[in-house]
């Protein structure tokens, strides 16, 4: 199998202000320069800081400069209905329903799940989302499957973030263990790049575009690293092995 290369942005937190927008613009422009080799660009949630339709319009306009499919999952700061309508062209969102999608790109099946719990900062995957993952990973074509959602399913050693991670992750782990073709789990929410394993598969957490969370003991302001630039990950998937690169873009005020 030839390599599948995936750009990965997370936690844009667009809020109508220039600072957030400038950071997204810089990150997207950087990925756009590399995108000839990409299969897709994944955005793992918190696209808007406040769930505003205007922010999804801005995000859609900025991301449209990428010449590859853009795959999006919502985060806890997003509004399901506004996200679905503004970014996925899905109107008439049913209240309470997760915004889940299955997309095939570059001979990989991406299962894009909504781990948000409206009104809560922590996450949980609904039974129907887990069922969708199991069904997608059982498709007869046997394509490798990448699952993406916002909240990391493991503790990262950062207390503020660990307190609001994915709950009931055992249920997800059971589905992942039962389906060998799930080759990677990709998340955001932590605002800091991290690599781990989950249910025996590689788990990657994207760095934040809007800000970077401090590790314990690291100098911080409001739990964030002051002055940290926007950043992105680039994943290379080949024969079931995942290599992840991380890039930060200097020269940005926080
Ligand atoms: Fe975030
Ligand atoms: Fe988040």
In this predicted structure, what is the pLDDT of residue 96?
A: 92
Computed over every residue of the chain, the mean pLDDT equals: 96
Question: What separation in Å is there between the alpha carbon of 114 and the centre of ligand 2?
Answer: 12
Question: What separation in Å is there between the alpha carbon of 109 and the centre of ligand 1?
Answer: 25
Query: Domains of the chain by range and CATH?
Result: 4-248 (3.60.21.10)
In this predicted structure, what is the pLDDT of residue 53?
A: 98
Nearest ligand to the C-alpha of residue 12? 1
Name the percent of the chain lying above pLDDT 70. Answer: 98
pLDDT over threshold 80, residue 250 = no
Question: What separation in Å is there between the alpha carbon of 140 and the centre of ligand 2?
Answer: 34
Q: What is the pLDDT of residues 91-123, one digit of tens each?
A: 999 999 999 999 999 999 999 999 999 999 999
Question: What separation in Å is there between the alpha carbon of 177 and the centre of ligand 2?
Answer: 26
Q: What is the pLDDT of residues 130-155, one digit of tens each?
A: 999 999 999 999 999 999 999 999 99
pLDDT over threshold 80, residue 251 = no
pLDDT bucket at 2, cuts 50 / 70 / 90: confident
Question: What separation in Å is there between the alpha carbon of 121 and the centre of ligand 2?
Answer: 7
Question: What separation in Å is there between the alpha carbon of 172 and the centre of ligand 2?
Answer: 19
Question: What separation in Å is there between the alpha carbon of 189 and the centre of ligand 1?
Answer: 5
Question: What separation in Å is there between the alpha carbon of 67 and the centre of ligand 1?
Answer: 25
In this predicted structure, what is the pLDDT of residue 1?
A: 60
- Location of structure tokens 């613009």: 25
pLDDT over threshold 80, residue 252 = no
pLDDT over threshold 70, residue 254 = no
pLDDT bucket at 13, cuts 50 / 70 / 90: very high
Question: What separation in Å is there between the alpha carbon of 77 and the centre of ligand 1?
Answer: 7
Question: What separation in Å is there between the alpha carbon of 116 and the centre of ligand 2?
Answer: 9
pLDDT over threshold 80, residue 83 = yes
Task: Write a three-state SS string for the chain.
Answer: CCCEEEEEECCCCECCCHHHHHHHHHHHHHHHHHHHHCCEEEEECCCECCCCHHHHHHHHHHHCCCCCCEEEECCCCCCHHHHHHHHHCCCCCCCCCCCCEEEEECCEEEEECCCECCCCCCECCCHHHHHHHHHHCCCCCCCCEEEECCCCCCCCCCHHHHCCCECCHHHHHHHHHHCCCEEEEEECCCCCCEEEEECCEEEEECCCCCCCECCCCCCCECCECCCCCCEEEEEEEECCEEEEEEEECCCCCC
Q: What is the pLDDT of residues 29-63, one digit of tens each?
A: 999 999 999 999 999 999 999 999 999 999 999 99
Nearest ligand to the C-alpha of residue 211? 1
Whole-prediction pTM: 0.97
Task: Write out the residues surrounding ion ligand 1, Cβ under 5 A.
Answer: 11, 46
């Amino acid at each position: 199998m030839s390599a599948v290369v995936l750009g990965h942005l997370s936690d844009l937190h667009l809020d109508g202000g220039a600072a957030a927008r400038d950071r997204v613009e810089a990150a997207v422009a950087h990925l756009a320069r590399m995108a000839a080799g990409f299969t897709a660009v994944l955005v793992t949630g918190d696209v808007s800081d406040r769930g505003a339709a205007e922010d999804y319009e801005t995000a859609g306009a900025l991301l449209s400069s990428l010449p590859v499919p853009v795959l999006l999952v919502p985060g806890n700061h997003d509004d399901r209905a506004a996200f679905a309508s503004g970014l996925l062209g899905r109107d008439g969102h049913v209240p309470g329903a997760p915004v889940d999608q299955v997309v095939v790109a570059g001979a990989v099946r991406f299962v894009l799940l909504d781990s948000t719990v409206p009104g809560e900062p922590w996450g949980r995957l609904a039974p129907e989302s887990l069922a969708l993952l199991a069904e997608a990973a059982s498709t007869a074509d046997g394509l490798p499957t990448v699952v993406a959602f916002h909240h990391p399913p493991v503790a990262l050693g950062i207390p503020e973030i660990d307190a609001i991670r994915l709950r009931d992750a055992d249920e997800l782990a059971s589905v992942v263990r039962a389906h060998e073709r799930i080759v990677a789990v990709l998340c955001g929410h932590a605002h800091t790049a991290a690599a781990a394993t989950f249910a025996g598969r590689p788990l990657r957490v994207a760095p934040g575009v809007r800000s970077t969370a401090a590790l314990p003991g690291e100098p911080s302001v409001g739990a964030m690293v002051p002055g940290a630039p926007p950043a992105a990950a680039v994943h290379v998937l080949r024969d079931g092995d995942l290599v992840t690169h991380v890039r930060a873009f200097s020269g940005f005020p926080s």
